[in-house]
Amino acid sequence: MNDFDLIVIGSGPGGYVAAIRASQLGMKTAIVERENLGGVCLNWGCIPTKALLRSAEVLHLAKTASAYGLKVDKADFDLEGVVKRSRGVAAQLSGGVKHLMKKNKITVIEGSATLKKGKDAPDVVVGDKTYTAKHVLLATGARARAIPQAGLEPDGKLVWTYREAMTPDVMPKRLLVIGSGAIGIEFASFYNELGSDVTVVEAVDRILPAEDAEISTFAHKSFEKQGITIKTAAQVKGLKKGKNSVTAEVSMGGKTEMIEVDRVILAIGIVANSEGLGLEALGVKLDRTHVVVDGFGRTGVKGLYAIGDLTGGPWLAHKASHEGVICVEAIHGKTAGAHPFDPWNVPGCTYSHPQVASVGLTEAQAKETGKKLKVGKFPFIGNGKAIALGAPEGLVKTIFDAETGELLGAHMVGAEVTELIQGYVIAREGELTEEDLMHTIFPHPTLSEMMHESVLAAEGRALHI
């Protein structure tokens, strides 16, 4: 007899949500965690970084208070206090996950898990104990990728990963960020706002390379306007570490430049936590460290499933949570209305200043489909709420299939766009057309009106530009 119906390995946003859904469906569930409940996202990723960025945002508002007719004398920050608040937020939410496990009668098993061949599903070994289940779900996530080159490895002092970058003991006067994806840009934005002289180096020809090129260009100009130095199509060839500084050798356009900084942040992607689990012996298929699964999380090995960052991009917490629910419901047999995971309906968000958000195809990707397109654009400067907020810089862009009216993609840069993007996500999930969106009423005055205007603009009917 099995100990559990389902054992989930990893308690990040994918794992703990999957465990809760399983419990709701009446499954006897356990979750294995080797460190902190909530995983990287709640403890070292999504949540604490947003707390840091919020502190930077408040500081920015204080510094620019005069633009709003207000007086704030000597706006400054306390680094220890900023970090303490961020860690406090993380601790509160990790404690919240612990409460949810207890509430949903989910057994929490502390330690590192390995798998070995079992009857219904692989057996789960934690320490000197072996647990059995009808189903096992892997949600072990991923970790920061290191550059496979001598001298570029993180050391926790001069060369940081996201963990050290979230808990700095000193504020670097000069900072080099290697990589311009969401993680790199968020840290660049945070440290720039707090006064660091920030340089971003990106290997490809534009920052935020997963985003639409036009949005990427807009963000690039905005970051440079704020004082961030950006070097694209550039590579860091080496780092020479001093006592309390680092000299980076940067190659760009056939020329080499030496840049001296106080600290370096590596933000060049992630590597799946797939090693040490015993997957190879079970016959699990891997693709560049990621576990290969179908749209319901099935690995092809009886009783074994995987979700989240472990299975590849997009590497986002909400993607992992959604996959967890889809997977558990498929395991349970709750298939009415079920459909496999669709990565093109996952919104992407970068919480920098300005924010960036998107869903679906970029314009370049949409063109590759061969479909005839309609593209609408609307600038923040045409929106009354944006002007009232003192945030008139930004752009909303929508891409439609000209023949069917299908919303192929939506892309945004500017204030609060990470909150706005969900409207377009619902439109894509609900298969709403351009016509449906044009006849939707958006409240006034709101930033969301720009979403409507961008849709109208695709038809040449924008009202406020």
Contact 36, 139 (CB under 8 A): no
Contact 236, 250 (CB under 8 A): yes
Calpha distance 251→262 (Å, rounded)? 19
The residues assigned a catalytic role are 444
DSSP codes, 17-45: HHHHHHHHTT--EEEEESS-TTHHHHHHS
Give the side-chain half-sphere CA count within 13 A for 67: 10
SS3 at position 131: strand
Looking at this protein, which amino acid is placed at residue 267? Answer: A
Where do runs of H (alpha helix) occur along 139-247? 162-166, 182-193, 213-225
Calpha distance 418→424 (Å, rounded)? 11
Calpha distance 222→261 (Å, rounded)? 23
In 10 A of CB 434, how many CB atoms? 22
Structure tokens at 19: 């465990």
Structure tokens at 92: 């509160």
Task: Tell me which residue of 236, 221, 241 sits closest to 266, measured CA to CA.
Answer: 236
